[in-house]
Amino acid sequence: MGMIRASRGSRRTFARDENMSAFLRVLDPTDDLTGGGTASAVAGAMAAGLVAMVARLSIGKKGMEEENYYRSIDNEAQRLSARLFAGGRKDSEAFRAVRAAYGKAAAGAESGSPGEEQIHKAVIQAARVPLKNAEACKRVLDLCARLEGHSNPNAESDLECACHLARAGLLGCLANVEINLGSLEDAERCRRLRERVRALRTYVQQRDDHTDT
């Protein structure tokens, strides 16, 4: 059992290190392989972290909700932050897989073995990953909505930053879904993915309309 625990601990440590590596590549102006999908997921992770903080800072404050209200938001926001931080790494990996698949296909074409299937699989994954990240960002925005008007006024600017970051993360992730759908030849799968994209864009528009009123 001790060896199993150590192995699991090593995998978690490795995953955290890889997540951080992807984040640092986003900040590196000389890196050409880690782009907007990773940056958008990290924006969502930061938003979720801020939401968790605002929820905790609201506990016990006069005129606020019961403690359990904020504890549930805090717990979910922490899970979303971890999920989106890992999602940034997964987006980077998906892009690299697409690049590798096209490279292998180009090499295979010379030997009579093109690799369309590998490209197809890689492109599907490159669309799925940012879509899942976008849906997580949407959930962060849902949590923001629960805190608006029900949180510590001293953390109002933090909550506003969380809303902006989550919205930017959601839209950035969707942009990365759509650019990959342009390379997807599976019409039915493409249609289903586009429906989910449209639903998320409608959600953002409705939230924007509500905010403006």
Output the pLDDT for position 134: 98
Mean pLDDT, range 45-71, rounded to an integer? 97
pLDDT tens digits for range 166-180: 999 999 999 999 999
Mean pLDDT, range 86-114, rounded to an integer? 81
Output the pLDDT for position 26: 78
Residue 122 near residue 98, CB atoms below 8 Å: yes
Rounded-to-5 percentages of helix, strand, coil across the chain: 85, 0, 15
Torsion of CA 154, 83, 72, 139, to 10 degrees: 80
Output the pLDDT for position 5: 52
Task: Name the average pLDDT for the chain.
Answer: 89
CATH number listed for the domain at residues 2-212: 1.20.120.680
Centroid of chain to Cα 199: 16
Q: Quick one: pLDDT band at residue 18, thresholds 50, 70, 90?
A: confident
Output the pLDDT for position 112: 46
Contacts of 208 (CB under 8 A, 6+ apart): none
pLDDT tens digits for range 116-147: 888 889 999 999 999 999 999 999 999 999 99
